[in-house]
């Protein structure tokens, strides 16, 4: 299946792995790229030396195109993004920040840059900054989807930009792929579906829960990580999503958790603290939320702790019924998409 997305990245299938912390590892990236999609490494929880090592590992596991992400709001993200440029990563996916310098740097070695956006204004800004494509994330998505659903957001943004659009949020099978193409996208990004595959490092406890839960078994709100975030609905998640006193995060837990993040990223704690303080009250509050959320997500993803962990998943969790390999999943999606195409040709004249 050829689309603007496959042509842009030189891949076989118009399917991208969402960059998910603790899940989009080198092995997972390679599995997606080897299956014909675009694997994207998550760098948010990596030190710069770990990011460099991860890129090397990906190149040992695949000779196919791959990408890596940088969520520019997160401490250490800009340093990781510079590593991506130095290592000449084929595709860089940035979010929550200005990416013109990334586009300029990547284009010098022939790389591509895509920006994750949730509204028209950010989409048009990203295009002006030199982005080669957009990941348009609807409300159905895991973690940080937009206020509008994919059904409305994808065509809205496709109408105002000239670069390829990759639809994210609610896509898990061939029907979704064909729907995205009909809406004006050139392909899809999947997180929830791909985290429940055999190659995914997600703990089996949450793979099992993701299959058992339905489309209405997610929770969405701004008080988990300071952004509008969607996760699997569990007793723990419901508690974590409650509005704190005066709408503020729990600073008593944010302090030790932020120390853990500093250690994880190999950054001096005072550097993170000064950065947070000088970022202003709005960003400071958001980063305090993120400190608590990171701990809960790590417990879910790595340890499978259903009592303390919280796992971001999208509403497409209701479409999950098994744990295939990535290659099996992609083959199934392509077959389903062709079946949809054939069925529609007999229905629509």
76 contacts 41 by C-beta, under 8 angstroms: no
Cα 122 off chain centre by? 17
164 contacts 4 by C-beta, under 8 angstroms: yes
Top-confidence residue, 145 or 34: 34
pLDDT surpasses 70 at 257: no
Q: Say what the pLDDT of residue 269 is.
A: 45
Question: Which is nearest to 95 in space by CA: 134, 147, 149?
Answer: 134
pLDDT surpasses 60 at 216: yes
Q: For the chain, list the domains and their CATH numbers.
A: 4-202+321-347 (3.20.20.70), 214-303 (no CATH)
Q: Say what the pLDDT of residue 287 is.
A: 58
Report the alpha-carbon distance of residue 246 to residue 191 in Å, rounded. 33
Q: Say what the pLDDT of residue 290 is.
A: 62
Predicted confidence (pLDDT) per residue in 290-306, tens digit:
666 878 899 999 999 99
């Amino acid at each position: 299946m050829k689309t603007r997305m496959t042509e842009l990245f030189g891949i076989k299938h118009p399917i991208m792995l969402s960059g998910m912390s603790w899940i989009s590892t080198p092995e997972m990236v390679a599995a997606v790229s080897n299956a014909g999609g675009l694997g994207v490494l998550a760098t948010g929880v990596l030190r710069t030396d770990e990011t460099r090592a991860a890129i090397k590992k990906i190149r040992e596991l695949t000779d196919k195109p791959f990408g890596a992400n940088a969520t520019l709001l997160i401490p250490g993200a800009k340093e990781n993004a510079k590593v991506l440029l130095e290592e000449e990563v084929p595709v860089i996916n940035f979010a929550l920040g200005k990416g013109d310098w990334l586009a300029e740097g990547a284009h010098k070695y022939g790389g591509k840059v895509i920006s994750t956006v949730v509204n028209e204004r950010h989409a048009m800004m990203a295009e002006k900054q030199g982005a080669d494509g957009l990941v348009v994330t609807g409300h159905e998505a895991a973690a940080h989807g937009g206020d509008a659903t994919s059904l409305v957001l994808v065509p809205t943004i496709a109408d105002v930009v000239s670069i390829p659009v990759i639809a994210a949020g609610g896509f898990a099978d061939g029907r979704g792929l064909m729907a995205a193409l009909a809406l004006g996208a050139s392909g899809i990004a999947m997180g929830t579906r791909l985290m429940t595959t055999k190659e995914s490092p997600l703990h089996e406890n949450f793979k099992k829960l993701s299959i058992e839960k339905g489309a209405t078994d997610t929770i969405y709100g701004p008080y988990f990580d300071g952004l509008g975030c969607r996760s699997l609905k569990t007793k723990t998640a419901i508690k974590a999503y409650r509005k704190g006193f005066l709408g503020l995060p729990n600073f008593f837990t944010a302090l030790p958790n932020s120390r853990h993040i500093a250690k994880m990223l190999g950054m001096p704690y005072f550097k993170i603290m000064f950065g947070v303080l000088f970022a202003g009250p709005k960003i400071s509050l958001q980063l305090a939320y993120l400190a608590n959320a990171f701990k809960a997500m790590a417990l879910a993803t790595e340890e499978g702790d259903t009592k303390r962990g919280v796992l971001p998943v999208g509403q497409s969790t209701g479409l999950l019924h098994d744990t295939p390999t990535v290659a099996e999943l992609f083959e199934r999606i392509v077959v389903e998409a062709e079946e949809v195409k054939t069925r529609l040709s007999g229905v629509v004249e």
